[in-house]
Amino acid sequence: MAKEMTLLWGSGSPPCWRVMIVLEEKNLKGYNQKMLSFEKGEHKSSQVMEMNPRGQLPAFKHNNHVLNESYAACFYLESQYQSQGNKLIPECPAEKAMMYQRMFEANTLGQKMADVIYYNWKVPEAERHDSALKRNKEALTAEIKLWEGYMQKASGPFVAGKNFSLADVMVFPSVAYLYRFGFCEERYPKLAAYYNSLKDRSSIKTSWPPTWLESPVQDLLKDI
């Protein structure tokens, strides 16, 4: 099974990490995988472009089935291997509805993080404005406060309730990314508790971005 799968990925990328967490949760060991460097432009290599013409990671293939969007790959793996490993879609209708809602909201969190963290990288120097970065930071702060409120009202320790689900697969890498860039956990105790309760989960710890272990935390988000 897993030997028929190939994953091209980049360390620290939340979309890549999501797929790796699901592979671990479903006990799909021994898949073909290769870590590529964003800094060296390896995500634009011919190997990637053959699988993903957008030149983005992850690039995932199972037999002849190519799924390069992390949500698509995660849904596919859960659907194909429902009875293997941990079930990632709850049976309870209320939890299932919450799972779908929160997992798609995770896209907004990811985008607002990127608007701040990668502002100087994405925006040419001549087009940068302090007022724009300030707006982006304010939008991210409001988004984080929203998630803090979600976790305060949650019916269990996980995003959708009592069970680890695809919602956590989508949300946790983004929360970890906040920490990676200097997020102040004292301001958001519920998100801090969520992060600390999951960071040592086997599927997450096993797939932890290796480059994060080698380099220090940055402080781009210390004032968020």
Query: Identical fold at 2-81 and 93-213?
Result: no
The residue length of the chain stands at 224
Mean pLDDT of 177-190: 91
Domain 93-213 class, CATH top level = mainly alpha
Among candidate residues 167, 165, 151, 57, the one with its CA nearest the CA of residue 105: 167
Mean pLDDT value across the chain? 93
Mean pLDDT of 76-91: 96
CA gap 174, 71 in Å, rounded = 14
Domain 2-81 class, CATH top level = alpha beta
Percent of the chain with pLDDT over 90: 81
Give 121-130 pLDDT, tens digit per residue.
Answer: 777 878 888 8
> 19: phi > 0 → left, psi -120 to 50 → alpha, else beta; which?
alpha
- Is the confidence at residue 120, as pLDDT, over 80? no
| Higher-scoring residue by pLDDT: 166, 128 | 166
Domain ranges of the chain: 2-81, 93-213
Q: What's the pTM?
A: 0.94
Give 129-154 pLDDT, tens digit per residue.
Answer: 888 889 999 999 999 999 999 999 99
Give 22-66 pLDDT, tens digit per residue.
Answer: 999 999 999 999 999 998 989 999 999 999 999 999 999 999 999
Percent of the chain with pLDDT over 70: 100
CA gap 38, 13 in Å, rounded = 9
With H, G, I as helix, E, B as strand and everything else as coil, classify residue 5: strand
- Is the confidence at residue 201, as pLDDT, over 90? yes
CA gap 19, 5 in Å, rounded = 12
Give the tokens for residue 88.
Answer: 């990632």
Per-residue buried b or exposed e for 107-145, using 16+ beta carbons within 10 Å of the residue's own CB: eebbebbbbbbebeeeeeeeeeeeeeeeebbeebbebbe
